[in-house]
Amino acid sequence: MFLFDTNICIYYIKGKYFLQDKFERVARESRFISEITLAELKFGIHNSQNPSANAKVLNDFLSGVNILPISPTLDFYAEEKARLRKLGTPIDEFDLLIGACAF
């Protein structure tokens, strides 16, 4: 299983870092994004200069990945957030939610 975060998805969509070749080497059944990543990508569409064109690009991208729900990971997320806070280790909320989906 490969769980792609928002930045990697954006780089792929924009054709950066030869990610198209790397994506194609991974079976579609093994390509995942979280619902959080999907939300961030949709925000990017609505915040862009050309939402309708970018929505089509996103839909094309989504046809090649699977979407992981976040609800099964919320307990793990909460435990990790509390643990990291006690250690004084800040982490972005969305990054932690995305990472929790990998477990």
Q: 85 is in which domain, residue-wise? A: 2-101
**Torsion angle defined by CA atoms of residues 38, 3, 84 and 41, in that order, rounded to the nearest 10 degrees:** -20
In whole numbers, what is the pLDDT of the chain averaged over residues? 94
pLDDT at residue 50, as a whole number: 97
pLDDT at residue 94, as a whole number: 87
In this structure, what CATH number is given to the domain that contains residue 7? 3.40.50.1010
Could you tell me the pTM of the whole model? 0.84
Distances in Å between the alpha carbon of 48 and those of 2, 52, 53?
27, 9, 10
For the record, the structure tokens of 99 come out as: 């990472």
Q: How many domains does the chain have?
A: 1
Q: Which residues of the chain carry a pLDDT beneath 50?
A: none
Secondary structure of 26-95 as H, E, C letters: CCHHHEEEEHHHHHHHHHHHHCCCCHHHHHHHHHHHHCCCEEECCHHHHHHHHHHHHHHHHHCCCCCHHH
